[in-house]
Structure 1
Amino acid sequence: MTLGDVAVTCTVRVQDVNGRPVAGAQVVVLGGPSGAADAAGRWSAALTPPPAIPQVVVTHPAYVQERVAFAGDLRTEPWDNALVQRAVAGDDVTLTVTLGRLDTCPVVELNAEQIKAVMQQPGRDPHAALLWRPPKYPNVRAYTGHWNDQLDCYVAEADLLPEKPVAAEARGWAQFHHHLEPVRVDALGRFYWLRYPAPQADGMHTVAVFSPNLGSPDPLSQLDFVLFYSPNTSSYSAAYPYGLVNDASPFQQYFDLGKKYLLDEFYFVAQLLARKKRVVTVMPIVHGTDWGPLTTGEGALRLLREVAAFLHRQCRTSAAGVRPPGDNPDELCGPNLRTLARAVFRPGFGPVPPVGGVAVAGFSTGIDPVKQVMRAFPVAQGTALWGVPSLDGTDALRVWNTAFRELWDLDGFHPDTGGWPGYLKLLRPWFTADGTRILRSYHSSGRVPPDPDTDPDPVWKDLRGAGLTLDRRQTPPGRWARIKQNERWTSVRMSDSYVDYGPGSDRPVFLDAHHTTPRIGFSHAAGLTKLG
């Protein structure tokens, strides 16, 4: 670009979330030259004449397109994309553009007749996430079924079981030490349905993400995560991921899975918000039983780096992305700064925050991918797109081992995923490899958890460490529960009858023992976590 008689050279460096070059990325200066990034991910040109508002577009088929506009002089004026960093040396400008692989799912608002028409088509697939107008915000669209109302959430206390005997007639949350916490999810964060580029999906291209609002004017130095694995979806009949089921009242089966765990049945997000934890919740939505690259530590780390890049692009790694629920008509259905009319111009955004601490959680058969993540690190699908190739001598395995700090076992169905003895043998080296690692374990008796007092496996000695800070039990007639706990370990074992149903007014509500246990366990683990 020429400013007066001065020529400015623009160099664009294209990299992925691992900092590795993206060769072959197409770089276009609107109204100016274009070309492909070389093997080092670099493209350079002298730009002349100067555009009034310089704009650069970078594309690659395996990544999400990025576009950046400057408010004026390329060398001095602010820009509108947090995934772009600028370095200036005289009249040479270098733009480092990070390309991510996750973007918001397409969305569509359909009336009853339109949904009925979709239900009559093969596949019953609207090819987008459905939207609705929640009664509280009639002028705002939201993901279907997300009421965005205040949730009066029952929150478990650290000691979980009351010190005094519970009454014989007590049921539900009355059997646990808890308090009531009102939570407004829409006022405290944003929910996103994300997807990978369709040609590169490899069977795993839908991820539910909840991002809490942040108060810091600058991006956090790191992002902490809870990565949750649900039971598999082998019984699902809907087309993945947008297909509809249920003629009487159609709903998107795969999206309903994420909604029920994170929002309105299991209350996972509300439990973290009630604790004021600045933790990003990530839930991949599996197609059948194949978790693909996410059954490895490398794949899990790459997923979280991709989520961090997406949130940074949304300005949700700082307070810059915090807006009132009614700020624009799409504020509650995954607002995307790539499409919003209002851009965020800042003199600098800083780099994408690295992955900080991670709690990996699994419920029921969802404990199987958790165990696979504990067991294996390298991905088999291709490390360039799904993994974390080494860069400048950085040991990705060491990075993951440092990040993977907590394991939340939420009534994991170990008898159906390799057995308890194999799990305990896997658990011991993971727990003892780092003196800061934490295990929180919650099981109903139907999952036949071993008794730490009588089971011969040596892992129990390691878990006890120097001793216990809490050992408490409840034994009302016909049922029992016991908690053993110290700073790094919680073991909660409960008879099915102790957690089997309760008052329907409780939130989260108690159901059968197996589906109730994670509601108690997640709440308790969220209160004890060192993350966020």
Structure 2
Amino acid sequence: MTRFVVRVSDINGREYTPPFFVARYLSNPRPGEVSVPVITRLAPGVPTDLQPAGDEVNLTVGTQAPGFSSETFTVRKMGGRWLADMRAATISVQGDTVLVDVVDGTIRLAPTIAFPPEQKVKENPRALLCEPGQGWIYYGAYLTNPTIRRLSNPAVFDSPTPAGYPSNDTAVKNEDSGNLVFLEYGFTTTPGAPRGPRFLIAVWAPRVALGTPPQVVVFYSPPTKTPDFPGDGYPFLGRYPYDIRAPAIAKDLVQPYPYHAINYLLAGYKIIPQIQAAGRNPIVIMPVNPTGGWGPLDTQLGLSRLIKEVVRFLYGHKLVSSRATPTARLSLHAGRASIFPQKGLFDDEPIPMRWALTVSGFSNGIDHPLNLCTSLPIDEKLYDPAIFASPETALVDSWREIWDIDGVADNGAGAERHLRNLQTWLKKERRTLRSYHSDYGMRTAPRTLVDPARVETRPVKPYKGVFISEGSSADGRATWVQFSDAALQPSPYDPHHTVPAIAFGHAARFALP
């Protein structure tokens, strides 16, 4: 007979009480008898005596509080110790009592679906498309082992008559280097559950030992807008985030919101392969906002909660690890998202509560890193703090870098705000700023943060309008690169959109402070 006490809290440590837990186990009450399956309920926080054969019990958080995702996991006695196969459950023993403390989350795998390639799809599938006829990868999200054209370091030219920005080619073997995982953050859409907002979040889960603290990169793209993206209003449960651009056969379908993330991270600008080519492989988080706005996701309170929830999910389900190459993987077999193996991986690795954080923004996506430089409230009437907020300390103390990728602050006082907020942010120790700007973004570029005596421009005499300037502050904590538009050609993109195709790989070459 073993006495169990099971308790639940959120990622902030706030306890909440679900109606019950479900315990499933094989019971062997007397020697010589055949074990029989047992299902019983445990009241939260109430000691309950169980008699499991083999010292193993499977537990499920019962009907969860609104917005919470619930968890199912197994606890087992191994080598005299009780362990769980889900890291968001921690086990301690007090005398004859096994205490199981569960951190429940507000994030879950995004629903997925696969259609036969020639099937006509006319309506919103309300799920994320997997490759037609294969069902093992998100639509368009191939890991292709690309060759990355890396911006040289230093970035300035070494020729008086340059042709194109200085670069070298680096082959990236990313086929087994991580998983792209789409998550839903916020309220569930389960029939009968309370309705509330939820956001689509694209996440890169590296298949390497991340170390302590793990590196996390958050990327804010320019905001989604109609007519390029299906419009939707609060609470964003209609066309956002899975509606299709137009009816088509499955192999030709486009889902604008998910593909927005895939294009930035893998297929087009190749942010993840760029960072990998520089020798890093961090967790990457890209929120995909509805056309109605970012809600809490550009506040310290909101981003702190989002990162905590993503890290809890990835570590909890063993998609990432600080200690070793992860064993679990995302499975999209037959177009259904799951984690494989779902159970049986027992260890006691803790979930990190601090990270080495980089926040990046491209174009007027820079507005969001600038908003994060100061404390702002969230709209508590629209976004329940119990789901969307977390104390700001974890974010503020973990934040190490800002990557300003041709940032153009989207308001009338943009230039002043851009400079002022970055100056304020840099006052805290162990922080660095990396800025990259084309002629397009120079109207708000923070050039005054670097020492004019440390700026070098090459070629000294621009060649056919081609030049690059590079400089740093006296303490090296702020670096700055300006490209003339002509220096960013030839490229498949215009100069402004070429910057994110090369800047991430250069910024990632610098060591974290």
Structure 1 range deviating more: 442-451 or 239-248: 442-451
Contact 1:204 1:285 in 2 (8 A): no
Q: How far off is 1:156 after superposition?
A: 2.2
Q: How far off is 1:370 after superposition?
A: 2.0
Return closer, same or farther for 1:321/1:106 CA change in 2, 3 Å cut-off. Answer: farther
CA distance in 1, matches of 2:334, 2:143: 9
Equivalent residue number for residue 7 of structure 2: 13
- Is the partner of 1:214 in helix, strand or coil? coil
Return closer, same or farther for 1:415/1:147 CA change in 2, 3 Å cut-off. Answer: closer
1:95 to 97, 100, 104: 100
Contact 1:195 1:207 in 2 (8 A): yes
Equivalent residue number for residue 472 of structure 1: 457
Given residue 14 of structure 1, which amino acid in structure 2 is its aligned partner?
V
Q: How far off is 1:210 after superposition?
A: 0.3
Equivalent residue number for residue 45 of structure 1: 47
Alignment of 1:51-200 (within 5 A): 53-59=56-62, 60=64, 61-71=66-76, 76=81, 78-114=83-119, 116=120, 118-119=121-122, 124-132=123-131, 141-167=136-162, 170-171=163-164, 175-176=165-166, 178-196=167-185, 197-198=187-188
Return closer, same or farther for 1:25/1:403 CA change in 2, 3 Å cut-off. Answer: farther
Given residue 274 of structure 1, which amino acid in structure 2 is its aligned partner?
A
CA distance in 1, matches of 2:5, 2:304: 30
Given residue 10 of structure 1, which amino acid in structure 2 is its aligned partner?
F
Structure 1 range deviating more: 68-77 or 124-133: 68-77
Alignment of 1:94-493 (within 5 A): 94-114=99-119, 116=120, 118-119=121-122, 124-132=123-131, 141-167=136-162, 170-171=163-164, 175-176=165-166, 178-196=167-185, 197-198=187-188, 202-215=196-209, 220-235=211-226, 236-238=228-230, 239-247=239-247, 249-315=252-318, 316-318=320-322, 322=326, 330=332, 336-337=338-339, 340=340, 343-346=343-346, 348-380=347-379, 381-388=383-390, 396-414=391-409, 416=411, 418-432=413-427, 434-449=428-443, 460=448, 463-464=450-451, 468=454, 471-474=456-459, 475-486=462-473, 487-493=476-482
CA distance in 2, matches of 1:334, 1:373: 36
Contact 1:131 1:143 in 2 (8 A): yes
- Is the partner of 2:286 in helix, strand or coil? strand
Contact 2:130 2:137 in 1 (8 A): yes
Q: How far off is 1:131 after superposition?
A: 1.0
TM-score by length of 1: 0.81
Return closer, same or farther for 1:111/1:86 CA change in 2, 3 Å cut-off. Answer: same
Percent identical: 25
Contact 2:266 2:273 in 1 (8 A): yes
Return closer, same or farther for 1:253/1:521 CA change in 2, 3 Å cut-off. Answer: same
Return closer, same or farther for 1:20/1:133 CA change in 2, 3 Å cut-off. Answer: same
Q: How far off is 1:260 after superposition?
A: 0.6
Q: How far off is 1:202 after superposition?
A: 4.7
Given residue 321 of structure 2, which amino acid in structure 1 is its aligned partner?
T
Q: Which runs of 5+ in 1 are unaligned?
A: 3-7, 38-42, 389-395, 454-459, 503-508
Q: How far off is 1:398 after superposition?
A: 3.7
Q: RMSD in angstroms over aligned alpha carbons? A: 2.9
CA distance in 2, matches of 1:12, 1:445: 59
CA distance in 1, matches of 2:487, 2:330: 46
Return closer, same or farther for 1:230/1:106 CA change in 2, 3 Å cut-off. Answer: same
- Is the partner of 2:392 in helix, strand or coil? helix
Return closer, same or farther for 1:452/1:208 CA change in 2, 3 Å cut-off. Answer: closer
CA distance in 1, matches of 2:47, 2:415: 61
Contact 1:194 1:207 in 2 (8 A): yes
Contact 2:87 2:348 in 1 (8 A): yes
- Is the partner of 2:443 in helix, strand or coil? coil
Return closer, same or farther for 1:129/1:141 CA change in 2, 3 Å cut-off. Answer: same
CA distance in 2, matches of 1:404, 1:62: 27
TM-score by length of 2: 0.84
Equivalent residue number for residue 392 of structure 1: none
